[in-house]
Each structure stands twice: as C-alpha cells, then as structure tokens.
Amino acid sequence: MFRFRLAPDNMKFHFMRLRRVTYPLSAVLSILSVVAFLTLGLNYGIDFSGGTLMELRAKSGQADLASLRSLGDKLQLGEVEVQAFGGGQDVTFRIRLQPGGDAAQQDAVQRVRQSVGEGYEFRRVEVVGPRISGELVQSGTLGVVLSVIAVLTYLWFHYEWQLAVAAVIATMHDLLLTMGFFALTRLEFNITSIAAILTIVGLSLNETVVVLDRIREMLRKYKRMPMPEIIDTSINAVLSRTIMTSTTTLMALFALVLFGGHVIQSFSLAMMFGMVIGAYSSIFICSPILIYLGAPSAQTDADKGEGERKQPA
C-alpha cells in the first residue's frame, strides 16, 4: 500500500554538522530578543494597558487614517493609535485611559462617534479600566510563570539530567525568541497572546519529548555508537512525523491569519512563529547539547546486562 511520506524512511541527513551555524545564529537572535524587549518593550493591547478600543468600518471607500489620527488633538484625547487592517476599509481606533474614570471614557467614545459622523460604522467598542487591566496583567503573568515552572519540573523528573538540561534550554530558547518576536513586530500583546505563549510552550515540549525519547532509546540500544551519529539517526527517524504535524498545523494557522480577522491576528502569527521555532529548537538546539554534556549514564539493569549490541548497517 502506498504511503505518502514528506521525508524518506532511509533518510540520513547529518543535522549535527550544522550545530556550528545554528548555535551562533540562536545566540544572536536571543541577544536581539532581549535588547528588543528591554528597549522597545511590548505593544500592550487594551486588555493590559487599559483604555478604549473601537473597531470602525468605512461605509464607502477606504478609511481616512490621517483624519482619524488628528482626532486625538482635536478632541483633546491625548495620544491615539489608529491601525488599518483587512482591505483598508476596517480600522482600529484606540485611546488611552482618560482622567476622570469610566465616565470620562464613555464621554470620549461619544465625542469620537459625533466627530466621525455617519461615515463609519462602529462594529466593536471595548472599555477596560485601570483596575481590570492591572488584574489581567497580574493573572496573565502568573499563569505563564506557573505553567513554565510546571513544564520545567516535568522535564527535570522525566529525564536523566543531561536530557533534562537540554529540554529546559530548548524551552527557554523558544520563550525568549517568542517574546522578541512580539517586541520586534509590534504585534498587539493581549490575552490571546498569553494563550499563544502557553500553547507554544506545549507544542515545543511535545516536539522536544519526541526527539529526546528516540535519542534515549538509541542510547540504550547502541552503546558504542558516537553521540552525533545517534542524534542524527534519531532525528531522521522522527523527521517525517515532525514535518507532517508542523505542516498541517501551519496550514490551519495560515487560514486563521487570512480569514480570522484582526482580533486573533496576534495569536495566529505568534503560533506560526512558535511552530517553526519549536521544531527548529528540538533539532538544532536541544539535541546538540547532548554532544557537549555527554550520554546519560543512568540505564536500566537489563540494559547493563545485555552488553553491547551490533550497530545498525
């Protein structure tokens, strides 16, 4: 029976030869992510920064971004953020928290409605006060921290220390680059972004566990085989599965980017980036670390009594 394979079963690509390129590349990207996060910061959405978000649609033609941006000074609303999306007919209009509490925010919305007149349709209006936004920041940060701690704890107890260290470094690498991605692209960082980060951690962990489990099996089976060869053989064995799962997930995410609208755009783009970087780190970051840390010494009694087995042809 014919089986569709994205990678041949007998593939013998030498992934570990590329570690001298991928490690410096990841180091540069990690440093760039830290610098971007510290200097640019995150583009917090209305969930975290507080204020009012309005989604408008021009009833005829394209939205006039210049006139909308001028409303900040005209209505004395302070700095406003105007961003077009879709075909240019839709636009988001965000104003910061106004002094005077909820009444001032509602008054600002009414003044914007009166100023734009009948030329725009108000499709969505969200008002988030400072107390709510502060609680969301605290809850979101706590959720991410606790999830990462739980993941790292699982990795530490699931594997021998060499494999655990490699998995932890790969997971932290993915988190760091994802935060840098948000800082550099200026995507809106909101509640859905928190969901994207948690999902990326789970997907990255899944890819890492698949690769490390196969490496551990190979270490027990072929005790005399050099570590780079064991890693290359293990990665080639699971490569078809990795490509298939990543490709199908990326196809679904690409559809969300095209048709999901502005609300989940940051989630979809971050997930696409996370899928790519998760597969990359499990192969080129996590696995090569074992070359430098050495093979895990902890093996089962049955493995120790079996002796050395013949290497595969």
Tracing tokens 């890492």 back to the chain, one arrives at 208
* Cβ 284 vs Cβ 201: under 8 Å: no
Q: Same domain for 105 and 161?
A: no
Band the pLDDT of 24: cuts 50, 70, 90: very high
What CA dihedral angle connects 238, 242, 244 and 247, to 10 degrees?
A: -160
Is residue 193, in this structure, part of any structural domain at all? yes
What pLDDT, on the 0 to 100 scale, is given for residue 192? 82
Q: Same domain for 212 and 174?
A: yes
Residues 223-251 have pLDDT tens digits of: 788 888 888 888 888 888 888 888 888 88
What pLDDT, on the 0 to 100 scale, is given for residue 301? 36
Q: Which of 128, 153, 182 lies at the terminal end of a domain, its last residue?
A: 128
SS3 275: helix
What percent of the chain clears pLDDT 90, i.e. is strictly above it?
A: 9
What pLDDT, on the 0 to 100 scale, is given for residue 35? 94
What percent of the chain clears pLDDT 70, i.e. is strictly above it?
A: 85
Is residue 165, in this structure, part of any structural domain at all? yes
Mean residue pLDDT across the chain? 79
Q: Same domain for 123 and 137?
A: no
Band the pLDDT of 302: cuts 50, 70, 90: very low
What pLDDT, on the 0 to 100 scale, is given for residue 263? 67
Res. 264: pLDDT tops 50: yes
Q: Same domain for 85 and 151?
A: no
Band the pLDDT of 127: cuts 50, 70, 90: confident
The first and second tokens of residue 140, run together, are: 């979101």
Q: What is the domain range of residue 252? A: 15-43+133-306
Distance from chain centroid for Cα 103: 37
Band the pLDDT of 6: cuts 50, 70, 90: low
Res. 303: pLDDT tops 60: no
What stretches of 73-118 adopt beta strand conformation (E)?
A: 80-85, 90-95
CATH number assigned to the domain comprising residue 100: 3.30.70.3400
DSSP-assigned states of every residue in 154-217? HHHHHS-HHHHHHHHHHHHHHHHHHHHHHHHHT-EESHHHHHHHHHHHHHHHHHHHHHHHHHHH
Q: Which of 69, 103, 128 lies at the terminal end of a domain, its last residue?
A: 128
What pLDDT, on the 0 to 100 scale, is given for residue 196? 87
Q: Which of 128, 155, 190 lies at the terminal end of a domain, its last residue?
A: 128
Q: Same domain for 218 and 145?
A: yes
Band the pLDDT of 5: cuts 50, 70, 90: low
Average pLDDT over residues 159-177: 87
